[in-house]
Amino acid sequence: MNLYVNRELSWLKFNERVLEEAENREVPLCERLNFVSIYQSNLDEFFMVRVGSLMDQMLLSRDMRDNKTNMTAEEQIKAVAKNVRQLNRRKDAVYAELMDTLEGYGVRLVDFRKIGSGESAELERYFDTEIAPLTSPTTVGRRQPFPFLQNKHIYAVAVLAGKNGQEKLGIIPCGTGVIPRMIPVPGHKGAYMLSEELILHFLPKVFSGSKVVSKSLIRVTRNADIDADALYDEDLDYRDFMEKLIKRRRRLAPVRLELSRELDSDIVKTLCAYTDVQPDHVFRSGSPLDLSFLFRIQDDLRQRSELFYGKRFPQRSSRFRPDVPVMQQIREKDRLLSYPYESMKPFLDFLQEAANDPDVISIKMTLYRVARHSKIVESLIEAAENGKSVVTLVELKARFDEENNIEWSRRLEDAGCQVIYGLDGYKVHSKLCLVTRSGKDGTEYYTQIGTGNYNEKTARLYTDFSLMTADPAIGLEATAVFQALAKGEFVENSRHLLVAPHCLQNRILGMIEDEINTAKQEKPAYIGVKINSLTDKSIIDKLIEASQAGVKIDLIVRGICCLLPGIPGKTDNIRVISIVGRFLEHSRMYIFGTEERQKIYISSADFMTRNTLRRVEVAAPVLDPELRRRLGEMFRLMLSDNRQARQLLPSGEYVRVRSRENPCNAQEFFYEQAYEQAASDTPEPAEQPKSTGAVLPSAGIKAAFGPPAEPKSTGGVFRWFVNCMHSFGKRKGESL
């Protein structure tokens, strides 16, 4: 029996789970709109990156096969196209349902079949005066070649019949950036027409010298998978080279053609020939080709709070005292922040302190994705201007963030920071910050290791962990990481940190082997992992071996999972769930061993070959017993989620985990807990007694399945938490 799932098809299963949130009537209406838009933008990037990569593989060798399912690139592309057509039909259906429902709230998206002659005349006048003068129509012929179609831009295409009976194509770009996307319908408050539909309707006016035989809106998606390292010339300035490469990517070959209307097959073949798209990669869409306008509709309905999730704001962490310097608190003991439930402010304060502390010698940091208006980078600039040694590794190959990173690298250099750009052939994806300070007892090291980017915006939307420690052993190993990066080398050995590409996968495999040996001694053995994706075949095969040895394994994998659980005699000791909900699950956590000998790491690395062997990644051990207990409880709570979780079956299908008796929404639980702790009048004292390890739940049993409640007493809610843990225990038959 096959134990593996193809990577691309598993990713489509993830996007199906996103689409399910749009279909879920328990989700507020405007949030469902958001999930439809996310589904589409996810799919756009999937075609640009993954399908583009498969098409490149086909050019290299038609015999190249996936190492888990033995599928060729061509077979994968065909399977992807089939699955996407099925999913898109569901997307079109839920979009139509949502737009019908919106009409009950006074918002309508109309076409000319849904408005009267008076409104039509008003829109025609608007087209004549405001849109037609801004259009740039093209008629394709011998003297006018087919125009270049920008990636993901919408074009109106008409099949034109001339007086001589010959047919030509007429094309008008619709996304000029000047014309508003949503055009109000005169006399009808809340009624809009999309600008591309208005242009499409009046094509006969634009091409008045010909008869419009048929017409459609079209959109191409271009390959964005470009190998920067393979093309780089050492004689070029790396930053200038990346800028040119970004411009080149905009002109790469199309991988998909979308149509808004049915066209004659001969016309489709003609469009395929002009755009160099294979006929199998043409998709007919029953909903708009670009759903980004849905955010505008959400803005129009902001006053209707019932259409949105209840407001949530990251809370002050009770584990930090506001009146004490952050570095002093980190010296006392290790600290952990859990985003988005807790605010990023303690870390921002930490950087500001470092920038202005006269005893701080240096700040070193890896930057993969940062906000467009980054307080973090501003603190680094301030530190450099204050005379600190500031070293930043800016990853210019962070896909789709290259331009932002290039701009920040210039600003950092201008301020006097030393900027380095990583290693040939390897992205630096680690989230590592090191502050070195001259203390009264010698050199002090303050190390922060995160699971997510140094981005204030995504810290409010993604779940992530941020560990801060003054452990000198961790600091020295972080120093070794930065020294290796500055020399263009890799860390070859490390004791505490797991540092890819040479000291992460092998250490993970070693800890799995330890659990296998424990199980063979008939002792309880356990592995718990929370990651975004699982594709690394070496790790997958080792997990299968562990399952066969009797190791109990829980995997929380948000996205791609290439391992099938529950196969008798093979993976029947493995359980896989995926949590897809209001916040993007982004944190990574590795747990090895039962509670009395447990090792816990947080990391920037998924279990993907690209992370374990082709990137610089860092995983850090959580050494503080209280923090280990906290993370263990959080992991167990996520395993108990029966509102947002889906369980992966041996068939490869995902099913929702549901329980009416003990509803448990992990994300809402953690937010309620953060609200309650922030509302406490007694922040954590300097010398706190060791915790018993119990994570007391916060207020609001309704938060498990509904809008967030105001903080209230914990009376009765502790029983709910115990029930969650009890139901988890009944499923697993044991605790961690």
Question: 652 with 692: CB under 8 angstroms?
Answer: no
Q: Alpha carbon 592 to chain centroid distance?
A: 26
Q: Is 100 helix (H, G, I), strand (E, B) or coil?
A: helix
- Residue (of 192, 150, 193) closest to 173 by Cα position: 150
Question: 13 CB contacts (<8 Å, ≥6 apart)?
Answer: 652, 654
Which strands make up the sheet holding 654-656, listed edge to edge?
498-499, 618-621, 599-603, 588-592, 526-531, 552-557, 574-579, 645-648, 654-656
Question: 556 with 536: CB under 8 angstroms?
Answer: no
Q: Which residues of 25-56 are buried (b: 16+ CB within 10 A; e: fewer)?
A: eebbbbbbbbbbbbbbebbbebbbbbbbbbbb
Residue 61: both structure tokens together: 């060798």
Residue 712: both structure tokens together: 């209230």
| C-alpha count within 13 angstroms, C-beta hemisphere, residue 733 | 6
Q: What are phi and psi of 414, to 5 degrees?
A: -60, -30
Query: Rounded to an integer, what distance in angstroms lies between the CA atom of residue 671 and that of residue 438?
Result: 38
Query: Rounded to an integer, what distance in angstroms lies between the CA atom of residue 724 and that of residue 638?
Result: 10
Query: CB 142: neighbour CB atoms within 10 A?
Result: 5
Query: CB 612: neighbour CB atoms within 10 A?
Result: 23
Q: Is 231 helix (H, G, I), strand (E, B) or coil?
A: helix
Question: 132 with 172: CB under 8 angstroms?
Answer: no
Tokens 């075949």 -> residue = 537
Task: Name the active-site residue from 188, 281, 373, 429.
Answer: 429
429 tagged catalytic: yes
Query: Rounded to an integer, what distance in angstroms lies between the CA atom of residue 130 and that of residue 180?
Result: 10
Question: 373 with 485: CB under 8 angstroms?
Answer: no
Residue 696: both structure tokens together: 């007391």
CA 46-613-627 angle, 5° bins: 90
The alpha helices in 255-344, defined as continuous H runs, are: 265-275, 294-300, 326-332
Question: SS3 for 673-730, per residue?
Answer: HHHHHHHCCCCCCCCCCCCCCCCCCCCCHHHHCCCCCCCCCCCCHHHHHHHHHHHHHH
Residue 661 buriedness (CB in 10 A; 0-12 / 13-18 / 19+): exposed
Residue 334: both structure tokens together: 């290790």
- Residue (of 604, 584, 578, 600) closest to 465 by Cα position: 604
Query: Rounded to an integer, what distance in angstroms lies between the CA atom of residue 125 and that of residue 127?
Result: 5
Which strands make up the sheet holding 138-140, listed edge to edge?
138-140, 167-173, 154-161, 211-222, 254-259, 282-284
Residue 5: both structure tokens together: 């799932």
Question: 214 CB contacts (<8 Å, ≥6 apart)?
Answer: 158, 159, 261, 263, 264, 267
Query: Rounded to an integer, what distance in angstroms lies between the CA atom of residue 272 and that of residue 254?
Result: 10
Catalytic residue numbers read 429
